Structure 1
Amino acid sequence: MKIAFISYEYPPDTAFGGIATYVRQAASMLSQRGHQVEVFAGGRESDGPLTTHTTLEAGVMVHRLQGVDRSGFPARVGRVFCDRHRALQFDVLEGPDCGAEAAVALRYVPDMPFVLKLHTPQYVLELLGNPLQTWQAKTRMTLGALRRGQWPKRRPPYDPAADPECRHAHEADEVAAPSQAIGQRILTDWKLDPALVASVPYPYLPSPDLLAIPLDTDTQVVTFLGRLELRKGVVELGKAIPAIRRRHPQVKFRFVGPAWNSPRPGLNMQQYLERTLPRHRSALEFTGGVPLDRIPHYLATTDICVFPSRWESFGLVCTEAMAAGRGIVASSAGGMAELLDQGRVGRLVPPRRPAPLARAVIDLLDHPQQRQELGRAARDRVLSHYSLEPIGALQEASYRRAIARRQALGTRSVSDRTTAEMAWMDAIADPTPSPSPQGL
């Protein structure tokens, strides 16, 4: 098959999170399985002219749109993709839910078979973000509004019909969910046809460095991997640290990732943890963001990884810890429960609950042999369930279904779109012609 991916996020230029990691892994997997794969991604922003640089990277053709920010990406990439499709005739296109990044491309190529890959839609992020506001902040906002003679504003209820990401999902010929948890949530909230939603987990191709890490480490280090932000459960981990160190005072806590928001205005998460845990500051290590090739080094000097997210659609950092054979404590909310086989290869704890989180970490510290057995089982599971062969077959079948459905339905009709949708499409469309690709 000739397969195209549209994704603003793609390493190294726009490697912001899990979407970038997924697209690179999926593109590599499909290329290794004999398909022709091209990726249309964001590039480095600049004040210079808009250009498209095309390079061949490990068998995958990558078109990087330089000088465009995320908001302008859908319009630019739609035109670039259309030009390339005229020359190559792709069989299928995949794009992310986030930002409806392939919407303009489908406007230009309405007969294109399209697979929407679920990650975490914006409305889910907003729903997760709203409860994270502290009661003190909510009180300040309420009193401030009353002092100004205004009623406090409440967030309007979520309206799927007004959500461009939801409308984009209804254009898809297949909606591929990396976990049953996110698939069921979207199926219900967006009222999708159940026949269009399929479970297609992210592929994971672990590096040899991760697989070479011995299981029987004794580092007394607990590591968190990921962005240091509220929805990742970092606050709850901070609250669990005193209880863990009362039982194991020698344990250190390492935070690998950039520091984002905290409950306290003006403080990022690293500053917040340092101020709220003054008696334990000597036990805290913050690395900031690190290159992907440095992850094996940090996991090799770790006994336990903790992922207490308030919600995760999948959890790629969890697969890295599984490949490294680490003891894992993770949230039961979302896709990591499926990764860890409902707790058979790691400990699951309820989200937003520091006490059960502390008990699970303490239990693995108390029982190193059990931790190592769980690490071995986790490594075996990630290799058997998420490697190239099983996920590659699922992804290929997903594309074939999308192609068959679009052939049966024919060309998408622009007239089927609502007035609101067309207004949104026109608002993001870029009237300037796309530049010719460079670098071929």
Structure 2
Amino acid sequence: MKIAFISYEYPPDTACGGIATYVRQAVSMLSNKGHYIEVFSGSFNENKIQKDNQVIIHRIKASKRQEFTKQVGTIFAQRYQQIKFDVLEAPEIGAEAAEAIKLVPEIPLVVKLHTPSYVLQELFYTPPSFQMKLRRYFGALRRGNIPKPFHNYSYNPDNDLERIYTLKADEITAPSLAIANKLNIDWQVDKQKVIHLPNPYIPSQKLLDIPIKTQTNIITFIGRLEIRKGILDLAKAIPLILNKEPKTKFRFVGSSLPSPNPKLDMHQYLEKKLKLFLPSLEFIGNLPLEKIPSILAETDICVFPSIWENFPYVCLEAMSAGRGIVGSSAGGMAELLDGGKVGKLVPPKSPKSIAKAVIELLQNPEERMKLGEAARQRVLSQYNLERIGALQEASYLRAIEKRQALGARNIAELPQPIYIQT
């Protein structure tokens, strides 16, 4: 098949998060299976065309996703006239392929669910406190303005253009049952229209070579230091853990985002909150992917207490390294950890549960190592290229068959391109 991907995120230029990791892994998998692949992606620096092995990458200069979404449709349509792609895959976030299917209405479209914008908005929304309302009210009066009423966050799926665009796809695929079930409720999408298709994952040999048996007493958090990742709950659990296991060390690997205190980033905020425990803490900052195996090799337990995740690659990396894992039961992480069979699951926003699970693994190293070995084997058996590759090929063929039966889309029924700032 001749397969096109539209994705603002693609390494190394726009390796922004999990979408970039997924597309890179999927492209490698499908190219190795003999398919012809082209990627239409973003770049912070320049417009260019690259070739990575047999894969052609069209880089579109865009500092933000919304700029990319405005431009990519025309570029894809021009290339389609030359190549005649069999199928196009794109993410739901930002509706990046909305213009492409408008300009090429006959193209079969597969939309891969990552995490829709409304889910992120829900997670980041914090209701204003009474004190905040008072400050804004009297601040407006001092400036001679009429205070505006506060509006709580509300969501109407009928006005969500990402939803409208996604429903125009010939196949909708979900890497986790969690995101499929959430959209079944929030977007009123028939479960039969969403296909559960886990993402492929190719662990590096460096991860697989890490010994299962370690005894470092190091607990590692890998990910952006932000509220959504459960970092504040981990911070509250640290004193509880150190009370029982005072020799424990905590490492934080990831870039620091805003904190509840507007004057401090999350790194500074955590240091202030945990000032009595600073000798037990280490903040490393953001690291390139190739440095992660060395961090995991020195780690006994990884903690990922996210409020919500769809298909977290950081968990798969820790599983491949055979680490003990304490992960959130909310979202797709519970599926990766096989319902708690290969790692400890804790409810989100529960520092006491985090502390209890970590202490149990610290005090029972044999259990930790047994879970680590089982986690590594699960990665190799469930997310390998052969298994996921066959499922993905079948998904594309269903989309092609459906679009051939329906014919070209009615352009008048298509949503306008969606330029969401993310």
**Which category describes the TM-score, using the shorter chain as reference length?**
over 0.9
Alignment match, 2:345: 348
Q: Secondary structure at the match of 1:39?
A: strand
Question: Is the 2:125–2:153 Cα contact (8 Å) retained in structure 1?
Answer: no
Deviations 1:357-416 (A, max 9, x none): 000000000000100000000000011001111111111111111111111111110222
Alignment partner, residue 119 of structure 1: 114
Which SS does the other structure have where 1:54 is aligned?
Answer: strand
Letter of the structure 2 residue corresponding to residue 36 of structure 1:
Y
Post-superposition CA distance 1:82-126 (Å, at most 9, x none): 111111111110101111111111111011100111111110011
In structure 1, the residue matched to 2:85 is 90
Point out the more displaced range, 119-128 or 183-192: 183-192
Unmatched tracts of structure 2, length 5 or more: 141-145
Q: Given residue 347 of structure 1, which amino acid in structure 2 is its aligned partner?
A: K
**Cα offset, 1:282, TM superposition:** 1.4
Which amino acid in 2 is paired with 1:379? R
**How far, CA to CA, are the matches of 2:39 and 2:206 in structure 1?**
27
Cα distance in 2 between the residues matched to 1:304 and 1:68? 36
Change (3 A) 1:53 1:355: same
Q: Where in structure 2 are the equivalents of 1:306-345 lying within 5 Å?
A: 306-345=303-342
Cα deviation code 1:148-191 (max 9, x no counterpart): 35354113521112112111111111111010000111122112
Q: State which of 359, 363, 384 in structure 1 corresponds to 2:360.
A: 363
Q: Secondary structure at the match of 1:72?
A: helix
Residues in 1 aligned to 2:118 and 2:16: alpha-carbon distance in whole angstroms = 19
CA contact (8 A) 2:50 2:58 kept: yes
Shift of 1:38: 1.1
The match for 1:7 is 7
Which among 298, 301, 307 is matched to residue 298 of structure 2?
301
Query: Which of 81, 84, 96 is matched with 1:101 structurally?
Result: 96
- The aligned residue for residue 434 of structure 1 is none
CA offsets, 1:200-236, max 9 Å, x none?
Answer: 1111000000000000011110001111100000000
Letter in 2 for 1:29: M
State whether structure 2 residue 47 is matched by structure 1 residue 56: no
TM-score normalised by the chain length of structure 1: 0.91
Correspondence for 2:376:
379
Whether 1:284 aligns to 2:281 is: yes
Give the match for residue 155 of structure 2.
Answer: 158
1:182 aligns to 2:179 (yes or no): yes
Aligned equivalent of 1:138: 129
Offset, 1:68: 5.0
Percent identity between the aligned chains?
A: 53
The letter of the residue matching 1:141 is M
Distance 1:262 1:156 in 2: 20
User: What is the TM-score normalised by the length of structure 2?
Assistant: 0.95
Partner of 1:43: 43
Cα RMSD, aligned residues only: 1.5
Counterpart contact for 2:210–2:322, Cα < 8 Å: yes
Q: Say whether the 8 Å CA contact 1:173–1:196 is kept in structure 2.
A: no
User: CA 1:16–1:67 in structure 2 vs 1: closer, same or farther (change >3 Å)?
Assistant: closer
CA contact (8 A) 1:28 1:58 kept: no
Q: Confirm or deny: 8 A CA contact 2:92 2:116 kept in the other structure.
A: yes
Say how many residue pairs are matched: 414
Return 5+ residue gaps in structure 1 as ranges: 46-50, 429-440
Separation of aligned partners in 2, 1:155 and 1:86: 47
